[in-house]
Amino acid sequence: MPLAEPLFLYPNSRRFLFDKVCDEIVRALEARNWDVPGILVNFRTFGTGAAKYRMVSEIQGADFKVTLGCHTFHGSQSVIGATEVIIPRQHIMVYHNWLSPVYYVYAGTDWLADKERWVSVQPKSSSKADRVPRWYLRYTGDCFCNASDRRHTHAGSGPSLLVHTSDNFEYDPVGDEPTMYDTDEVFEDFAQWLRSNLLDWILRTPEATEKVNAFPQINTPLPDGIPPIFCFGDKEDYLRVLFGQNVSVEPDLRYGMAVGNYSLLCYPVLSNAPREAYSSFLWCGFGEVQTSTHLDELVIPGLPWQSPLNSYVFRVVPKRAEGIYVADNSPYVSWYHRLSRRDLLSSNLGSAEREIAGRTRAASLMQIATYPGLRYQQPIVLINRELELDEVEIVSGPWST
């Protein structure tokens, strides 16, 4: 079954003064097949079933970054707009539910040396408390209208002023550095910079004469020799798969199994660990399952939580190899065996060993297309993409507890 192409969403918010130019920037990049010198474009896909969407998530260069987000849903309508804009010496974070913006102004002494971290270091916070040399000032939204002489905001509208954060965590303005800014003037500065610099730079690049599909569908079949795969699910999964082909089912429910809630590793990121190890996975096992196969006979190695509530058994029949990995759980088993022979009160030692075991297990992670020929002692099948309806078959269940 061919995969449905996600609907592409353009920035449609007009809440902030720079929203419209962000829309123009995205459309100008698209007209050039997302290929403009000095600009990196990242994308995000979200949604489920037949209701999937794609959008630009980041536009970045050497001294700027625009981050876009999907803010709210109104039925099938998504509100797409900028959540963060970083330009030389200025940085704004905005919230489409009217929470106070956060505004940063460069206050260092060597812009060329600080330019890279101005774009890359997030969040900018607590520099004074952390004794980091002064390199920015932080401002947040407030209002000083006639209704009050105290700092406050108004529900349902943006703050009129961006006022310096006066506390023990951030540095104070010195000399003639402002203690507050007019919010609309700041937003206009960002809009003008984006239009005069980023958009103008994009428009100088000729449009593409032929449109190229930037999101080609790759359908790599599973290699020969892969054993049968199974997974567990709950009643909601069972009903979704059972009735999923019915046209009356909501589009976002027309899928087989979702990505699970467990990953191999948690943050912080370890430099020597595969990036994919931090993904959320649907944990599966190798093994043939029939209606007569009892739940107690099935074990998925390393599954963090196997409960009688997960009382339905599904056969997984992937139509493509993308997003499917295999890892070896045996390092974790070895860790438990070693710990059981030691004083269980040595919690620090156990914790350190557990981290090593987790890294070793994560290091074994490989794409399923490269797995044949290897035979892990305790293989785990890990899937970090949504399975289509025709990739999942109901086998048995429910089982009594």
Q: Label residue 1 by pLDDT band (50, 70, 90).
A: very low
Contact between 57 and 68 (Cβ < 8 Å): yes
Q: Does 348 have pLDDT greater than 60?
A: no
What digits encode the pLDDT tens for the residues 135-171?
Answer: 999 999 865 555 555 555 555 567 888 999 878 899 9
Average pLDDT (367-372) is: 91
Element (H or E) spanning 204, and its range?
Answer: helix 200-204
Q: Does 172 have pLDDT greater than 70?
A: yes
**Which has the minimum average pLDDT: 34-48, 49-63, 336-350?**
336-350
**For the chain, what is the radius of gyration of the CA atoms?**
26
State how far the Cα of 276 lies from the Cα of 272, in Å rounded to an integer: 12
Q: Label residue 346 by pLDDT band (50, 70, 90).
A: very low
Q: Output the pLDDT for position 65.
A: 97
Q: Output the pLDDT for position 260.
A: 84
State how far the Cα of 88 lies from the Cα of 270, in Å rounded to an integer: 30
Distances from the Cα of 286 to the Cα of 233, 289, 323, 375, angstroms: 16, 9, 16, 11
Q: What b-and-e string marks burial along 300-331, b requiring 16 or more CB atoms within 10 Å of the CB?
A: bbbbeeeeeebbbbbbbebebbbbbbbbbbbb
Q: Does 2 have pLDDT greater than 70?
A: no
SS3 297: helix
What percent of the chain lies above the pLDDT cut of 90? 57
Among left, alpha and beta (phi > 0; psi -120 to 50; other), residue 98 is left
**Which has the minimum average pLDDT: 48-62, 102-116, 356-370?**
356-370
